[in-house]
Chain A
């Protein structure tokens, strides 16, 4: 890892590890102060100027620490805003997975659906798909009406907002469209799953070392060792997969999340099943994130359909350089 990336990892761990149960705004202020939402924003626009590997360090950490902020979404949103040459909002920024509506004379009328922390954020980035191109919109949360408050299984807000002739920043953007946004969303979740798995593995290993039964630590039982080895394998696979090939990344990470969350709970026994113990912050996110931005069926279908259409002779050459 480069020196700069190590520094980024250290800063991220320190900031996210120390957030505590403060109000949303206070915690977002702390991550913003450390520059974390702007890791993908070019330096000349005031960002860290990092690439996806740098962003991966921060996004994985949001999974590891079960961070109750839309930091991963903010990183992607800030990058899209920078790509569109719009002004980065000062307040907490989140990302709408899906936006419908229109912009006339700088006024947005429409809906942003299932927005992570949509009710808490200060500004929301969305892409409106038109026939040929996409329109990038940055709306103020306070200009919208929250028409539905939902939570995913991990209790993370997924709110729907409506806007009526709201003043927004907007611009046509060639480098992004709805499909690309969805795929990058899948990559965010794959990275977060990898991070949460690392957290669940670390918790499970230390629990197995401390907890005694039959007069010795759980860790000394071969049945437990073999289970934790599988948990480590799934964690490693999710982390290795969470790279640029987004369909395979999300598919593999989601699979790992299902297998590994089960093992982590089995090793923890009843303690892991309590609200008080930290494991559920990780495993409930793992279960929630499996479904967001395409579940296993979605991505397996896409990959399988593509591979079959290309036929057996193209299988191996395509595996070497997947279409992304």
Chain B
């Protein structure tokens, strides 16, 4: 049986200066943002904010300079995204591209793709979304049916993606498409799709709060040129799974409810009841523990390891904390003035409603536990 070790990985002391710079930048850029807006975390989209961040050199931080990156360390990037998330900065415009699409292109993309897309991403000028789920392919991702038919110079894509976050705000999608023969994991490819292509329709879906973060995306004979294949034809599955450790271990997997905790601390003040102290203590200890685990995975990623199962642990524990925090605070708080523009009540109301998505997006709780079980040798 494999054991899951999370060796301590401390951030180097020189990151402290960078952390101060990010805090100063945020204090100047989003000084008066209401708490409930901050609670949107990486779902909040503000393209102008992304451009400002890009001009500070805080997107694509670890990428080579020749692709518009800044050749900073993984630790530097970690510090920046921690501060952005804790402040609730509207990072949704570049989040997916910075976390996943960029690194994917860096690893598997052609030289032309890197030169075309990476500098634009790093400037905050273009947004990417990820086209994976389909109406009949949710957790069972290998059953995707959207098909690319080989034609002269590229593919004609037909099918439908769904639950695609930010498609309505994005310029490009990296779509998982069936281009080859074979079943299941075989014959899948990743294609960069220009969302302005003929035959492509994006239709936002309202979520429980009435906001639209995710979308349906319809492909009706959409042409994708050969040059927009990422990596190898038929290698899509392997490439997709290589992204997962990046997607599942970051601080965005345990910080999504921090805003309601901060509001709760403001409401209870310096002398809370014992029950309040116990809850605050538990949440704090869990957050601290998850940060140690997340940092440890960052250290493994920086060392070139692929800690995908460890990342599944962080995501499952992290989203559990994110979901329990608003519920437990609601159970304990005194009279909550919902609907009165009270920052605590507004933030709590918003988070209570969006928490179900936390253990769905990026791999459901059940899928993550399946990955862990496989690693234990149970399946």
A236 touches B313 (CB 8 A): yes
Please tell me if A307 contacts chain B, counting CB pairs below 8 Å. yes
Within 8 A of A (CB), among B358-379: 366, 368-370, 372-373, 375-379
Given A237-B293, A239-B6, A301-B277, A307-B372 contact (CB < 8 Å): no
A322 touches B373 (CB 8 A): no
Please tell me if A209 contacts chain B, counting CB pairs below 8 Å. yes
Within 8 A of A (CB), among B268-304: 268-272, 274, 276-282, 284-293, 296
A312 touches B266 (CB 8 A): yes
| Option from B1, B266, B278, B310 in Cβ contact (under 8 Å) with A301 | B278
Please tell me if B262 contacts chain A, counting CB pairs below 8 Å. yes
A232 touches B289 (CB 8 A): no
A226 to B317, CA, bound (A): 13
Please tell me if A151 contacts chain B, counting CB pairs below 8 Å. no
| Option from A1, A202, A237 in Cβ contact (under 8 Å) with B317 | A237
A239 to B3, CA, bound (A): 11
B313 touches A232 (CB 8 A): yes
Total number of A residues with any Cβ neighbor in B under 8 Å: 51
What residues on A are CB-neighbors of B369 within 8 Å?
225-226, 229-230
- Residues of A contacting B: mostly: helix
Given A205-B376, A251-B281, A241-B289 contact (CB < 8 Å): yes
- Cβ distance B92 to chain A, nearest Cβ, rounded Å: 21
A308 touches B285 (CB 8 A): no
A300 touches B278 (CB 8 A): yes
| Option from B1, B7, B271, B285 in Cβ contact (under 8 Å) with A248 | B285
Contact code string A219-260 (vs B, CB < 8 Å = 1, else 0): 110101110111011011101110101011001100100000
A308 to B281, CA, bound (A): 9
B285 touches A315 (CB 8 A): no
B316 touches A240 (CB 8 A): no
Please tell me if A208 contacts chain B, counting CB pairs below 8 Å. yes
| Option from A1, A299, A303 in Cβ contact (under 8 Å) with B280 | A303
B280 touches A307 (CB 8 A): yes
B271 touches A228 (CB 8 A): no
A120 to B65, CA, bound (A): 66
- Cβ distance B333 to chain A, nearest Cβ, rounded Å: 14
A237 touches B281 (CB 8 A): no
- Cβ distance A211 to chain B, nearest Cβ, rounded Å: 12
What residues on B are CB-neighbors of A303 within 8 Å?
280-281, 284-285
Given A205-B1, A308-B272, A229-B288 contact (CB < 8 Å): no
What residues on A are CB-neighbors of B271 within 8 Å?
308-309
A302 touches B281 (CB 8 A): yes
Please tell me if A311 contacts chain B, counting CB pairs below 8 Å. yes
A316 touches B372 (CB 8 A): no
What residues on B are CB-neighbors of A236 within 8 Å?
4-6, 293, 310, 313
A299 touches B281 (CB 8 A): yes
Please tell me if A206 contacts chain B, counting CB pairs below 8 Å. yes
A225 touches B3 (CB 8 A): no
B282 touches A205 (CB 8 A): no
| Option from B263, B265, B370 in Cβ contact (under 8 Å) with A311 | B265
A308 to B332, CA, bound (A): 15
What residues on A are CB-neighbors of B284 within 8 Å?
248, 303-304, 307, 315, 319
Given A225-B373, A251-B285, A232-B280 contact (CB < 8 Å): no
- Cβ distance A223 to chain B, nearest Cβ, rounded Å: 11
A241 to B284, CA, bound (A): 12
**Most chain A Cβ neighbours within 10 Å, of B5, B265, B272, B316:** B265
A228 to B379, CA, bound (A): 12
Contact code string A178-216 (vs B, CB < 8 Å = 1, else 0): 000000000000000000001001100110110000000
A224 touches B285 (CB 8 A): no
| Option from B263, B281, B379 in Cβ contact (under 8 Å) with A307 | B281
Tell me the B residues contacting A by CB distance below 8 Å. Answer: 1, 3-8, 86, 258, 261-263, 265-266, 268-272, 274, 276-282, 284-293, 296, 310, 313, 316-317, 366, 368-370, 372-373, 375-379
**What would 18 more interface pairs be, CB under 8 Å, given A233-B317, A241-B289?**
A208-B378, A229-B369, A230-B369, A232-B372, A233-B316, A233-B372, A236-B4, A237-B289, A240-B296, A302-B281, A304-B280, A304-B282, A308-B272, A308-B280, A312-B262, A312-B263, A312-B265, A315-B261
| 19 interchain pairs, CB-CB under 8 A | A205-B378, A226-B366, A230-B369, A232-B313, A236-B4, A236-B310, A237-B317, A239-B4, A240-B289, A240-B293, A296-B282, A300-B282, A301-B277, A304-B279, A308-B277, A308-B280, A315-B265, A319-B291, A322-B288
